[in-house]
Amino acid sequence: MRETVVSGIRPTGNLHLGNYFGAVKNFIRLQNEYNSYFFIADYHSLTTHPKPEDLHGRVKTILVEYLAAGLDPEKATLYVQSDVPEVLELYLFLNMNAYVGELERVTTFKEKVRKQPDNVNAGLLTYPTLMAADILLHNADFVPVGKDQEQNLEKARDFAGRFNFIYGKEYFKIPQAFNFGNELVKVPGLDGSGKMGKSEGEGNAIFLAEDEKSIRKKVMRAVTDGGPTQLNQEKPEAIQNLFTLMKIVSKPETVQFFDDAYNNMSIRYGDMKKQLAEDIVAFTAPLRERIIELSNDDEYINKVARTGAEKARESASKTIREVRDIIGFRHF
C-alpha cells in the first residue's frame, strides 16, 4: 500500500515564496508517489477572526494557487478543511488527552499571546490539536511543512502516540515531517530578520501572484547594510537572508559570483538585488499567468473542491468509525 502524505495551508492571503519553497514544492513532487491529501485550513484561519465576506474568496485564492503551482487533482486529493467536518470530531477526541500546560508551552502560542494579547482564544491554544486531527484523520506517514511548523508537528506525533498508548492499540502512525532535502526549510523575508510571511507588513513577503514591477520594487527595498569592511567577513542576518533567497531561486554560479564579491569586498548590493529580482520574476511569471487564467474558471475550481471533499470524506469517515469503536462508542 502507498504511504500517505497530508498537509495544509491557512487561507490568510496569497501564497508567498515561503509557502512555495517550504511546502508546496514538496507537495508537487510527493503527489506522484504517495496517497496525498492537501487541504486549505479554513477552520484554522478562524483564530484571527476573518470577516464572513472575506473567507470564501481567500479559500478560493489558495485553491487556485495550489492548482497553478502544479497540484494535480487527478493525483492528489485537494480539499477545503471545512468541507470535511469529520476532522472536528477527531479534534474533540484528541483534545480530551491534550493538556493545557503542554499547549501553553508551544512557541507559536506564546508568540500569539505576545502579539495579540486581546485575542488569546481557546482555538489558538488548541491549534496544535486541530492540526494533529488534520494529519491523523488520514493516518499520515509524512507531513511536508516548513521549519516553522516543526513544533506543531511534534505535538501531532505526541498526540498520536498518546492515543495509541491510552487505548493499547497501534492505531495511528507517528507522522514525520518531510522535506526532499531532509532539513526543513525556512525562507527568509526581505525586512532583514525572520521568516517570510512572519508579519503582514508591506515588503516582507513576495507572492506568487505578484506583478513584476512590484517584485522588483520590494527586492530593491530589501534591508542591507553599508557593505563588508573586512575580507571574508561573516554575513549579518539581513545579508545572509538575501543570499539564502538567492540560493533558492538563482543558479549556483550566480550565488557563487556574489559570494565571492562579498568576500573580496567588491559587492554592490544594488547589482545583487537586481539579479535576485530578475530570478524571482523568471520563476513567478509563468505561475502568475496560470493563476490569472484559473481564477476565471469557477466551474473547474468548484468541481475540484467538490470532488476533493468527497474523496477526503471517504478516508475521514473510515478513520472516525474506527476511532469511535476504539474509544468504546457503541450503537444502540
Binding mask 148-177 for ligand TYM (x = CB under 6 A): xx--x-------------------------
Give the CA angle between residues 82, 83, 84 to the nearest 5°. Answer: 85
153/99 Cα distance (integer angstroms): 16
CB proximity list for 209: less than 8 A, separation 6 or greater: 14, 15, 65, 287, 288, 291, 292
Q: Which helix (H) or strand (E) holds 59?
A: helix 52-69
Question: Which residue, among 331, 322, 321, 317, has the nearest Cα to 85 in the 3D structure?
Answer: 317
When the beta carbons of 130 and 305 are compared against ligand TYM, the nearer one is 130
When the beta carbons of 240 and 264 are compared against ligand TYM, the nearer one is 240
Please name the amino acid found at residue 258: F
Angle between the N-to-C axes of helices 269-294 and 252-263, in degrees from 0 to 180, rounded to the nearest 10 = 150
From candidates 69, 185, 215, 255, binder to ligand TYM by CB under 6 A: 185
From candidates 4, 5, 14, 22, binder to ligand TYM by CB under 6 A: 22
306/112 Cα distance (integer angstroms): 33
Question: Which residue, among 289, 26, 23, 34, has the nearest Cα to 139 in the 3D structure?
Answer: 34
Quick one: which segment of 185-193, 227-235, 251-259, 274-282 binds ligand TYM (CB under 6 A)?
185-193
- The three three-digit cell numbers of residue 212, written as one number: 513584476
When the beta carbons of 8 and 228 are compared against ligand TYM, the nearer one is 8
From candidates 14, 19, 126, 284, binder to ligand TYM by CB under 6 A: 19
Q: Does 47 bind ligand TYM (CB under 6 A)?
A: no
Chain center to CA of 137: 18
Closest distance between ligand TYM and the C-beta of residue 257, in Å?
A: 25
303 a catalytic residue: no
From candidates 25, 58, 195, 288, binder to ligand TYM by CB under 6 A: 195
Report CA torsion sign: 251, 252, 256, 262.
positive
From candidates 173, 186, 318, 324, binder to ligand TYM by CB under 6 A: 186
Closest distance between ligand TYM and the C-beta of residue 41, in Å?
A: 4
Beta bridge partner(s), residue 77: 37
Quick one: which segment of 6-14, 67-75, 90-98, 207-215 binds ligand TYM (CB under 6 A)?
6-14
From candidates 65, 83, 86, 134, binder to ligand TYM by CB under 6 A: 134
Closest distance between ligand TYM and the C-beta of residue 133, in Å?
A: 8
Q: How far is CA 185 from each of CA 3, 13, 126, 163, 258, rounded to the nearest angstrom?
A: 22, 20, 25, 29, 22
Quick one: which segment of 49-57, 69-77, 117-125, 144-152 binds ligand TYM (CB under 6 A)?
144-152
198 a catalytic residue: yes
Which residues sit at the interface with ligand TYM, rule CB under 6 A?
Answer: 6-10, 18-19, 22-23, 41, 44, 131, 134-135, 143, 145-149, 152, 185-187, 195-197
Q: Which positions are annotated as active-site residues?
A: 112, 195, 198
